[in-house]
Structure 1
Amino acid sequence: MFLKTNFILLGAVALFLFAGGAVLFIFGWKSRAPYPARLAIQDAFIELIPAVTAAEKMRGLSGRAELPENHGMLFVYNRPGRYGFWMKDMRFPIDIIWLSKGFTIVDITPHISPDSFPKVFRPKEPAQYVLEVNADFAEKHHLSIGDSLKPIY
């Protein structure tokens, strides 16, 4: 009797695991990160450093000596907003590119100097993603408001 009960219980667990796996297979497992690893622009790729947690967003690029060419920090927010950014503890100038949920440029704040601290910069339109890149990146790559960047996951 004890062996029969264990066998039935083991069979029920196996059936449950199989059914769960089948549901995940049929409806798809969301395996990609909620943010891209790179962004494609007209003539280049931007390798992204994600800033997702509150601590990562607060730290940002502060204290770094430099940002490699064609790299950027992508600040990821749950919903669009007019998030404020400043240049606290920054050591090099940057462009801030403000992006919609669909990665369309809604604003660009070019060539922000570390000396601008404590001024706070905000987009003219709400943005869900904020991209910090080396100064003059937007001009060098002819980026404009309304341009779309292609996320690569």
Structure 2
Amino acid sequence: MAAWRDLMTFIRRVYEVVRFEPDEVRILVRYGSDPEDQDSRVQTVVVAREVLDDGSEWVQLATPFAVVDQVDLAEVLEEIATTTVVGGVVIMGDYVVLRHSLPLVNLDYNEFSDPLELLAGAGDELERKFTGHDDY
């Protein structure tokens, strides 16, 4: 898969898409088999196409997990340093977001899916730990 349209075809086939735009798609990753189960959770992941100045295309994965002014950012960074293998933390508007980027050229499906699953899982755990909610 080396084209954005191929990635979008794959995402639409494999994931639950909740919003689709030409250069961005939002998907839900579900945890727990029964949506009515109180322990069932979801995590939103934004998949965006980024084109660098040199023309190279990248895929950016981002999942929000808290509102900036509602968490201790130093504590969040310490937690991520010891528990997370994919992504870094950024502030995007009012939100604390776990984000990871991948070059699109020669990207295989597992090179996309594995980081996406790790990012979504980490985002969900961070959200659970730092907010106690399931808002994202």
Taking structure 1 as the reference length, the TM-score comes to 0.25
Higher-strand-fraction structure: 2
Structure number with larger C-alpha Rg:
1
Taking structure 2 as the reference length, the TM-score comes to 0.27
